[in-house]
Each structure stands twice: as C-alpha cells, then as structure tokens.
A = this chain, B = another copy of it.
Amino acid sequence: METLSHTHTSSAPPTPGQMYGSAETLHRIEDVNAARGDADLGRRLVELRTWIEDDLSDVERTLAALDRAPTPMHDSARHLLSLGGKRLRPMCVALAARAGSGFNTAARDLAVAAELVHSATLLHDDVVDMGDVRRGAPTSRVVYGNAASIFAGDWLLVEAIARIRASGFDDLLDRALGVLRAMLNAEALQLAARGAFAPDVKGYFTVVEGKTASLFEWAMYAGGRAGGLSRAQCDALEIYGRNLGIAFQVMDDVLDVAGDATEVGKSVFTDLREGKLTYPLAIAVERDRSFGEALRAACLGEATAVDPELVRRASEVMRTTGAVEDSVALARRLTSDAVKALGALPAGRARDSLESVAVAMLQRRK
C-alpha cells in the first residue's frame, strides 16, 4: 500500500537478525483467527499486567496527586482521570522502559505525561463533539460545563509538557511538541472534513497517524530513552508504536462496522457528518463509486433522517467490496511489521510482552 510505505521501513536497513520477530508470534499474526481464544496468549497477557502492576499503580498515584484545588477546572480534569480507562500509553512507556534498565522515576513521569496529553485531547474532543458519555460515565463537560473542560484540557497539556521538560530528555520534549502539532493538524483536517464529504485513504492515514499513532510512537520511544536503550533500539520501539497505533485504529474501525447492519449504517452517517472516516468505509467508497455518490448526496443534503435503503446499502457494500477483510489484512500486516521491529531489542520478558500485546490487539473484540 503506497500511502503506508513509510511505516514499513526504518531509517537504517535492518540486519537479518532484526528482521523477524519470533517465528511463533509471526505465525499467530498470519493466522489470527486460529489464535482466537488462545489460552496461552490469554495467560501471557494476565502475567504481563501483573508484571507491570506496580508501574501502573505508581502512574495512578501520580495522576491522583495532581493539584486538587476545588475549582471546576480541576474537578473536570480529575473526573476524567478518575474514570480510569485502559492506560495503554503508560503501558507502552512501562514496557519499553523494561526492555531496557527498567521502570524508573523518569519512566513514571513520562508515562504520566503521555496519559495527560491523551486526557487533554479527550477533554477538548468531548467539548468539540458535544460528547455526553465516556468510560461509561457522563463526560466532564456534562458534569462541570464546557468552559471548565476547555481550561482543564489546557491545564493537563501544560502539566504534561512540564513533566517531559523536568525529565531532562530534551529530544523527548522536541518530539512531544511534534506529536502535539501532528495531533492538532489531524483535528484540523477532521474539522475541515465536516460537511465536506471527501473521504480518501490518504487523508485517513494522516488523521490516524496524527490523532492516534503519534502518541503511541512517542510513548514507546520515551520509555526506551528512560530505560537507557540505544537510539537504534529507541527507533525500533518507535516503529513498533507507530505500526501498532495505526493497526489499533484500523481494528477499532473494523469493530465499529462489525455490528448490527442498521446501527452500523447509521453510525456511518453520524461519523461522516462529524468529518470522521473509518478505513473500511474509505476503501468501500473507493471501490464502489455509485455508492460513494449516493453517500455524498445523503451527507451533503439537508435531511436529518437518513434513507433506510442507504443505511442497508452501506453495510452491504462494506461486505461485498471486501472492505472489512482488507482492513483486517492491513492491521495484520502492520502488526507483523511492528513485531519485526522488536528484533532490535534484547531478548527477554519485555520483548515477549510487546509481542503478546501485538497479537492480542488483533484479537480484541471491544
């Protein structure tokens, strides 16, 4: 796939030893359906969480110790943070640090910073999208108001940057500023796409790399730096983070369109009107032009109720064009590249864990 060529290559050509992850893992990725429900993989993921449990507790304690002033801004930030979430970005930092000398104070602060950046974007996104529910609870903006959520997002962004600065790794600060620019650029493109209907595959990847992959990429690289790994090893972690970040979003999209046909069809329109595009839809529209035209007319039209026939067709076209299967195939290829990059790391529990995470990601059902 032309538009993704840069995700396949590292800046230096890999040595043969770096080219391949463990044969077993690559086999799992090639045949991910056979791996579903793999009891061994499930056990390894449980062990992984136990292994880094103390690291994540340390992150939680630090997040909970943020300024506790009794203002709507502080309450708004704490409300979101207290609801938990998957803490995937701190996990990335922790595992990358453990591929080196281990999870130290710098790694802790960088893990906290990654979660703060993510939280800042969620606070602003919920205001922009008028989101009412997140992590199974009313959003901060519903509880404390839009104004508080806007300032809370600003505040968490500042707290994140302050922690990266305090870690003393100047390159991480510069990279973080690049990540923030890419994230905001992606938000800007998504906003520009509202009411414009211009679904294209290239734009899809710019948005996904900006909104999702860039922060995962940074989290992996940052953990590697905190753990004292070489620049080449940190670069490999970055490649892992980028590929897995994109694969994560593509699988998210697949799950989005895998449900009940009517629900899927409706959410396609809601998303499109908000300028949001899924990968399966982007390729379905490329492959079935007449469907693309019908979709354009419906999205640009004034009608708020969507034609049920078109709703049915959306779901059907994604099936008949092979959009869903090809999305899964792309996620699999990206994951395979992610695992191959791990060849640059020292063999050991951290590398094995990162391989397990990659395989598990392809199997997730929510």
Given A165-B174, A177-B165; A188-B158 close (CB under 8 Å): no
Contact with B along A117-137 (1 / 0, CB 8 A): 000000010011000000000
Residues of chain B within 8 A of A153, CB atoms compared:
154
Given A157-B154, A184-B155; A192-B71 close (CB under 8 Å): yes
- Per assembly, the copies of the chain total 2
* Residue of chain B at shortest CB distance from A127: B150
- How many of A's residues come within 8 Å of B, CB to CB? 35
Residues of chain B within 8 A of A177, CB atoms compared:
158, 161-162, 165
Chain B nearest CB, measured from A121 CB (Å): 9
* A147 near B165: Cβ-Cβ < 8 Å: no
* B191 near A151: Cβ-Cβ < 8 Å: yes
A187 at the interface (CB under 8 A from B): yes
Chain B nearest CB, measured from A278 CB (Å): 20
Residues of chain B within 8 A of A323, CB atoms compared:
none
Chain B nearest CB, measured from A227 CB (Å): 24
Residues of chain B within 8 A of A187, CB atoms compared:
73, 151
* B165 near A180: Cβ-Cβ < 8 Å: no
* Residue of chain B at shortest CB distance from A159: B181
Given A162-B177, A165-B177, A177-B162; A151-B184 close (CB under 8 Å): yes
* A158 near B185: Cβ-Cβ < 8 Å: no
Q: How far is the CA of A188 from the CA of B154 in the complex (A)?
A: 11
* A154 near B124: Cβ-Cβ < 8 Å: yes
Contact with B along A68-95 (1 / 0, CB 8 A): 0111111000000000000000000000
Q: Report, nearest first, the 7 A-B pairs whose CB atoms are least far apart.
A: A73-B188, A71-B188, A128-B147, A71-B192, A158-B180, A155-B184, A162-B177
Chain A residues with CB under 8 Å of chain B are 69-74, 124, 127-128, 146-148, 150-151, 153-155, 157-159, 161-162, 165, 173-174, 177, 180-181, 184-185, 187-189, 191-192
